[in-house]
C-alpha cells in the first residue's frame, strides 16, 4: 500500500509543479503578446518526415496550468479516497492518462493531433466510468462513449473536409471564410456539442457520475466537458461569419433545463452534474453571442469552484456509507465543519455571490448579454437560469448542512488531513481566482454604463433565486407540486425533459435491435456452429466415445476380440 500512496503524492506534486510553471509562462506570454509555434520532427525516413506541432500561446498555457493544478489536487485527494481500493494503482495511471489526453488536445493547433487527445479523453472516460463494474456503470459508460463517438466522427469528417485547405493546421484558417466553410464549422460545432453535452446530447453527463468521485471532479471541472467549449473558443473567429441564433437557443435551453432539473433532484451527484451542465450552457451561450474571452474566463473560474464542490461532496458521500440522497444528510456541519465550510464557499461561488470567483465571470457575462442586441426571450432565460442556479444551491446547502436530523444512525464521520489540504488550495482559488484572472485576462477595464435597474438586475435575480430555493426546501411529497394535479409538470422538469429516455430507449434502442439481429445471424449463426464450435464438437464427440468405451470395456473387448479373430480366420 505504501507504493500506491507514494505514487499519488509524487504524481500530485509533479502535476502541481508543472501546472504552476505553465500558468506563469502563460501570464508572461500574455503580457508580452508572445506565441510559440513548435514543429517537432520525430521521424524522418528518406524523403518522408513526420512532425508533431504544438501551439504555446497564453490561452493554451493558462488553461493547461489550471487543468494541471486542479488535477494535482484531485490526485492528492485520491490517495486517501482510493486507499482501500484493490486497483488504486490502475486508477492512478488512468487519471494521469486522462490528464495527458487533455493536454494533447489543448496545445494542438492541428486537427489530427486534436483527434488523438479528443479520442483519448473519450476512451479513458469510458474506462473510468465503468471502473466499479456494475450494471449501472456499464450502461452509463456505453451511453457516454456512444454519444462522444458522434463528436469523434464529426472531427474525422472535418479532417477530411480540410483537404480543401492546404494544411490540417486549423490555426491558419480561422480567419478565412469560403463558401464551404459553413459545413466545416458545423461539424466542429457538432463535436463541441457532443463533448460539452448540450441539447440534444445532454443525457450522458449525469450518467457519467457512475465514475469514482475524483474522476467526476476532473471530468466536470476542467477536462472532458470543457474540451468542446475550448475547441469552439479556438474556432470563434469562424463563428463570427454565422448567424448563431439557433445554436444560442439550444445552449440557453440546456442551461435552463439543467437548472430546472437540479431544483427537483434529490441525488447529490446528479445535482452537481446538472449544475455543470447549466454552466456549460452559460459558456456556450455567451460564446455564440460573440464573447469568446468571457466564455474562457468563466471556463477557468468554473473549473476552480466545481472541482472543490465535487471533492467536498465526495467526502460527504463517503461518510454517509455511499448514500447520495440529500434527504439523509441533515446537520452535517456539526460533524464535518471544515468540509462543509469549503462546500459553502464553492456553492456561493457557483451562485455568483459578490467578490467570490464565480461572481466576476457571471456578472460580466450577464452585462455583456444585456449589451448585445438580442430579444427579451434571451434576456429573461439568462436571468432566470442564474436565479435557478442560486435556487438549487440554496436547497443543497439547506438539506446537507442544516434542516433536521435526517442522517443515518450509525455513520463514521471523519475529516482526513490529506483531503483537507487539497480542499484548502481549491478554496483559495474559488475565492481569489476570479479577481486574479479578471485582472490578468482583461488588460484594459471596460466601462459599461447601464441604468440602475439593469445594473442591479443580476443581484436581484440572485436573491430571488435564493428565496425560491428556500421555499423549495419545504415542499415535501405531500405538497401540491407533487400531487397528481402538478405531478407530470414536476416529473417532466426533474427528468431533464425526458432526454435520457429519448437517447436510450428511442435512439439507441433501434440500433441495439439491429446489432442483435446481426449478432444472431453472423456470430451465433452457422459460422459459429461449424467453424468456432468445431473443435468443441469434435472434443465432446471423442469424449463421449472414450467414456462409452471405458464404461463398457469388457463387452467391447470381447466383441473386438471376436471381430479380430474372424478377420484373422478369414
Using one digit for the tens of pLDDT, what is the confidence trace for 514-569?
A: 777 777 776 666 666 667 777 888 888 888 888 877 777 777 778 888 888 888 88
Whether the upstream peptide bond of residue 200 has omega within 30° of 0, thus cis, is yes
Position 526 scores a pLDDT of 65
Same domain? For 426 and 514 the reply is: no
Mean pLDDT of the residues in the chain: 84
pLDDT exceeds 60 at position 1: no
Distance, in Å, from the CA atom of 89 to the CA atom of 261, rounded to the nearest integer, reads: 36
- Mark which of 240, 265, 298 sits at the end of a domain: 240
How remote is the C-alpha of 221 from its chain's centroid? 7
**By C-alpha distance, which of 444, 333, 459 is closest to 396?**
333
Domain assignment of residue 181, yes or no: yes
Same domain? For 511 and 387 the reply is: no
| SS3 (DSSP) at 444 | coil
Same domain? For 214 and 261 the reply is: no
Same domain? For 278 and 405 the reply is: yes
Position 408 scores a pLDDT of 60
Banded model confidence at residue 56, pLDDT cuts 50, 70, 90: very high
Range of the domain at 489: 483-524
More confident call, 518 vs 68 = 68
Which string of b and e fits 432-460 if b means at least 16 CB within 10 Å? ebbeebbebbeeeeeeeeeeeeeeebbee
Same domain? For 384 and 422 the reply is: yes
Q: What is the pTM of this model?
A: 0.85
Position 511 scores a pLDDT of 67
| SS3 (DSSP) at 212 | coil
- What's the Cα-to-Cα distance from 12 to each of 18, 79, 221, 434, 510, rounded to whole Å? 10, 9, 17, 23, 45
Across 6-20, 210-224, 243-257, 425-439, least confident range = 210-224
Same domain? For 57 and 116 the reply is: yes
Domain assignment of residue 124, yes or no: yes
Domain assignment of residue 293, yes or no: yes
Same domain? For 122 and 269 the reply is: no
Position 80 scores a pLDDT of 84
Distance, in Å, from the CA atom of 18 to the CA atom of 74, rounded to the nearest integer, reads: 15
Distance, in Å, from the CA atom of 67 to the CA atom of 230, rounded to the nearest integer, reads: 12
Domain assignment of residue 403, yes or no: yes
- What's the Cα-to-Cα distance from 306 to each of 77, 170, 314, 457, rounded to whole Å? 15, 31, 12, 25
Domain assignment of residue 286, yes or no: yes
Domain assignment of residue 265, yes or no: yes
Distance, in Å, from the CA atom of 63 to the CA atom of 103, rounded to the nearest integer, reads: 9
Q: What is the DSSP string of 226-283?
A: HHHHHHHHHTHHHHTTS--HHHHHHHHHHHHHHHHHHHT--BHHHHHHHHHHHHHHHH
Across 124-133, 235-244, 459-468, 497-506, least confident range = 497-506
pLDDT exceeds 60 at position 82: yes
- What's the Cα-to-Cα distance from 404 to each of 185, 400, 408, 470, rounded to whole Å? 52, 9, 12, 14
More confident call, 164 vs 191 = 191
Distance, in Å, from the CA atom of 315 to the CA atom of 338, rounded to the nearest integer, reads: 11
Same domain? For 18 and 133 the reply is: yes
**By C-alpha distance, which of 235, 222, 216 is closest to 301?**
222
Backbone φ and ψ for 484, nearest 5 degrees, come out as: -60, -25
pLDDT digits (tens, 9 = 90+) for 160-177: 888 877 788 888 888 778
- Mark which of 240, 274, 289 sits at the end of a domain: 240
pLDDT exceeds 70 at position 393: yes
Count of domains observed in the chain: 4
Distance, in Å, from the CA atom of 62 to the CA atom of 64, rounded to the nearest integer, reads: 6
Across 60-74, 88-102, 537-551, least confident range = 537-551
Same domain? For 222 and 78 the reply is: yes
| SS3 (DSSP) at 223 | coil
pLDDT digits (tens, 9 = 90+) for 465-482: 888 888 777 766 556 555
What the block records as the C-alpha cell of 443 is 488588460
- Mean pLDDT across 77-98: 86
Domain assignment of residue 540, yes or no: yes
| SS3 (DSSP) at 470 | helix
Across 222-226, 284-288, 381-385, least confident range = 222-226
**By C-alpha distance, which of 216, 339, 193 is closest to 275?**
216
- Mark which of 474, 496, 511 sits at the end of a domain: 474
Across 176-190, 264-278, 490-504, least confident range = 490-504
Torsion region of 243: left, alpha or beta (phi above 0 gives left; psi -120 to 50 gives alpha): beta
Distance, in Å, from the CA atom of 346 to the CA atom of 362, rounded to the nearest integer, reads: 14
Same domain? For 115 and 149 the reply is: yes
Distance, in Å, from the CA atom of 117 to the CA atom of 208, rounded to the nearest integer, reads: 19
What the block records as the C-alpha cell of 336 is 464535518
Q: Scan for cell 490540417, then name that residue.
A: 168
Domain assignment of residue 529, yes or no: no
Same domain? For 318 and 421 the reply is: yes
**Could you give the percent of the chain with pLDDT greater than 90?**
23
Position 480 scores a pLDDT of 58
Same domain? For 256 and 356 the reply is: yes
pLDDT exceeds 70 at position 415: yes
Amino acid at each position: 500500500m505504501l507504493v500506491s500512496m507514494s505514487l499519488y503524492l509524487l504524481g500530485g506534486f509533479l502535476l502541481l509543479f508543472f501546472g504552476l510553471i505553465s500558468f506563469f509562462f502563460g501570464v508572461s506570454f500574455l503580457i508580452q503578446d508572445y506565441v510559440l509555434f513548435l514543429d517537432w520532427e520525430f521521424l524522418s525516413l528518406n524523403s518522408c518526415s513526420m512532425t508533431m506541432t504544438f501551439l504555446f500561446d497564453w490561452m493554451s498555457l493558462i488553461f493547461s496550468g489550471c487543468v494541471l493544478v486542479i488535477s494535482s489536487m484531485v490526485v492528492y485527494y485520491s490517495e486517501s479516497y482510493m486507499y482501500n481500493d484493490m486497483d488504486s494503482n490502475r486508477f492512478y495511471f488512468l487519471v494521469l492518462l486522462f490528464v495527458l489526453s487533455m493536454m494533447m488536445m489543448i496545445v494542438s493547433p492541428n486537427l489530427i493531433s486534436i483527434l488523438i487527445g479528443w479520442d483519448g479523453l473519450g476512451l479513458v472516460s469510458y474506462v473510468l466510468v465503468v471502473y466499479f463494474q456494475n450494471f449501472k456503470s456499464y450502461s452509463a459508460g456505453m451511453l457516454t462513449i456512444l454519444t462522444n463517438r458522434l463528436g469523434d466522427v464529426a472531427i474525422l469528417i472535418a479532417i477530411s473536409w480540410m483537404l480543401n485547405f492546404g494544411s490540417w493546421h486549423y490555426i491558419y484558417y480561422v480567419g478565412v471564410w469560403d463558401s464551404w466553410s459553413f459545413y466545416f464549422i458545423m461539424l466542429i460545432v457538432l463535436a463541441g456539442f457532443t463533448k460539452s453535452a448540450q441539447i440534444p446530447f445532454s443525457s450522458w453527463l449525469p450518467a457519467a457520475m457512475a465514475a469514482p468521485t475524483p474522476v467526476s471532479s476532473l471530468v466536470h471541472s476542467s477536462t472532458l466537458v470543457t474540451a468542446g467549449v475550448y475547441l469552439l473558443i479556438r474556432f470563434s473567429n469562424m463563428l463570427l461569419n454565422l448567424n448563431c441564433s439557433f445554436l444560442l437557443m439550444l445552449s440557453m435551453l440546456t442551461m435552463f433545463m439543467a437548472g430546472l432539473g437540479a431544483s427537483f433532484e434529490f441525488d447529490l451527484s446528479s445535482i452537481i452534474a446538472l449544475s455543470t451542465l447549466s454552466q456549460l450552457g452559460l459558456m456556450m451561450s455567451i460564446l455564440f453571442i460573440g464573447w469568446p474571452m468571457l466564455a474562457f474566463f468563466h471556463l477557468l473560474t468554473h473549473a476552480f469552484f466545481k472541482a472543490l464542490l465535487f471533492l467536498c461532496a465526495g467526502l460527504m458521500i463517503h461518510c454517509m456509507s455511499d448514500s447520495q440522497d440529500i434527504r439523509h444528510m441533515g446537520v452535517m456541519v456539526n460533524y464535518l465543519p471544515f468540509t462543509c465550510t469549503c462546500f459553502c464557499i464553492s456553492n456561493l461561488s457557483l451562485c455568483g455571490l459578490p467578490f467570490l470567483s464565480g461572481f466576476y465571470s457571471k456578472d460580466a457575462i450577464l452585462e455583456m448579454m444585456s449589451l448585445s442586441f438580442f430579444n427579451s426571450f434571451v434576456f429573461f432565460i439568462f436571468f432566470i437560469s442564474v436565479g435557478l442556479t442560486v435556487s438549487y444551491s440554496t436547497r443543497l446547502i439547506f438539506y446537507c448542512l442544516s434542516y433536521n436530523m435526517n442522517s443515518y444512525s450509525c455513520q463514521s464521520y471523519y475529516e482526513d488531513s490529506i483531503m483537507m489540504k487539497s480542499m484548502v488550495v481549491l478554496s483559495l482559488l474559488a475565492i481569489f481566482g476570479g479577481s486574479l484572472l479578471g485582472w490578468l485576462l482583461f488588460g484594459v477595464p471596460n466601462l459599461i454604463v447601464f441604468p440602475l435597474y439593469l445594473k442591479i438586475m443580476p443581484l436581484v435575480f440572485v436573491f430571488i433565486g435564493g428565496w425560491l430555493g428556500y421555499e423549495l426546501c419545504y415542499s415535501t411529497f405531500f405538497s401540491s407540486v407533487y400531487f397528481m394535479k402538478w405531478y407530470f409538470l414536476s416529473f417532466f422538469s426533474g427528468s431533464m425533459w425526458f432526454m435520457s429516455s429519448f437517447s436510450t430507449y428511442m435512439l439507441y434502442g433501434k440500433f441495439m435491435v439491429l446489432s442483435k439481429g446481426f449478432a444472431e445471424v453472423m456470430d451465433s449463426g452457422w459460422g459459429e456452429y461449424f467453424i468456432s464450435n468445431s473443435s468443441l464438437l469434435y472434443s465432446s464427440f471423442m469424449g463421449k466415445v472414450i467414456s462409452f468405451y471405458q464404461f463398457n470395456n469388457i463387452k467391447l473387448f470381447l466383441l473386438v476380440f471376436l471381430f479380430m479373430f474372424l478377420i484373422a480366420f478369414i
